[in-house]
Chains A and B, each alone.
Chain A
Amino acid sequence: EVVLTQSPATLSLSPGERATLSCRASQSVGSSLAWYQQRPGQAPRLLIYDASNRATGIPDRFSGSGSGTDFTLTISSLEPEDFAVYYCQHRSNSWTFGQGTKVEIK
């Protein structure tokens, strides 16, 4: 079973700054990786699929990159609504989520 490890656990940044979140897989997953955003008190929302494709309606300040075992979610300039928890996810025989990275206001 693939294990996804996200880092850092918490990222403290100011609005307008660039956020870089990492997700590392315990074995190669090709490009089969998604990123989700979860705002406080809300359901998760699909941001990125197949490592680098933005889901419908997702602003272009969100971008995903990587393949194999190392993946990155980048938010080019943080908006107030972007302060949230972000999860990576992969599906093999089951669906696996990383433990999450919280992006908080500095």
Chain B
Amino acid sequence: EVQLVESGGALVQPGGSLRLSCAASGFTFSIYAMGWVRQAPGKGLEWVSVISGFGGETLYADSVKGRFTISRDNSKNTLYLQLSSLRAEDTAVYYCANTFPTTSSVYFQHWGQGTLVIVS
């Protein structure tokens, strides 16, 4: 059974930093690209970042580019998201998800339960 467990969410002041972690199990972690998606309170889903299976390629939403850094440790089956220069608008539940590639696209298949970041 695929499990994704996020941790690291906290209350942090504007301008502060935080590192989120996502521990993965139940699948061959290193094969799959992984991503982060966030959801502000009462709002919809917003894609944040994706990293390739071996970490060589990363993509970021414009809203976080230059402030957030995605990384992974395949020896620990763990995904990370380093958040810096945090703003109030970064307040959200942050979900990690593994990807599901098809012939035409890449989707988010399994999701963790999320970790809450509050910037205030």
Alpha-carbon separation in the docked complex, A33 to B106 (Å):
9
Do A31 and B35 touch across chains, with their CB atoms under 8 A apart? no
B residues in contact with A89, CB < 8 Å? 45, 107-108
Do B102 and A49 touch across chains, with their CB atoms under 8 A apart? yes
Question: For the complex, is B46 an interface residue (Cβ under 8 Å from A)?
Answer: yes
Question: For the complex, is A84 an interface residue (Cβ under 8 Å from B)?
Answer: no
In terms of DSSP, what is the predominant structure of the interface of chain B? strand
**Which of A89, A90, A100 has its CB near the most chain B CB atoms (within 10 A)?**
A89
Question: For the complex, is A50 an interface residue (Cβ under 8 Å from B)?
Answer: yes
**Which of A38, A42, A45, A91 has its CB near the most chain B CB atoms (within 10 A)?**
A91
Question: Per a CB cutoff under 8 Å, which of A36, A87, A90, A93 touches B105?
Answer: A90
Known: A43-B114, A50-B104, A87-B45. A55 touches B50 (CB 8 A): no
Chain A: residues with Cβ within 8 Å of the partner, total of: 28
Question: For the complex, is A96 an interface residue (Cβ under 8 Å from B)?
Answer: yes
Alpha-carbon separation in the docked complex, A69 to B78 (Å):
37
Do A91 and B106 touch across chains, with their CB atoms under 8 A apart? yes
Determine how close the nearest CB of chain B comes to the CB of A70; give it in whole angstroms. Answer: 17
Residue of A nearest to B4 (CB): A43
Contact with B along A31-70 (1 / 0, CB 8 A): 1111010100011111001100101000000000000000
Residue of A nearest to B109 (CB): A46
Alpha-carbon separation in the docked complex, A32 to B114 (Å):
26
A residues in contact with B104, CB < 8 Å? 30-32, 50
In the assembled complex, 19 residue pairs joining A and B whose CB atoms fall closer than 8 Å, in A order, are A36-B45, A36-B108, A43-B113, A43-B114, A44-B37, A44-B111, A49-B100, A49-B105, A53-B102, A89-B107, A90-B105, A91-B105, A93-B59, A95-B47, A95-B108, A96-B47, A97-B45, A97-B46, A97-B47
Chain B residues at the A interface, C-beta cutoff of 8 Å: 35, 37, 44-47, 50, 59, 61, 95, 100, 102-114
* Besides A36-B45, A46-B109, 13 new A-B residue pairs in contact (Cβ under 8 A), listed by A number: A36-B108, A45-B111, A46-B107, A46-B108, A50-B103, A50-B105, A95-B35, A95-B37, A95-B108, A97-B44, A97-B46, A97-B47, A99-B44
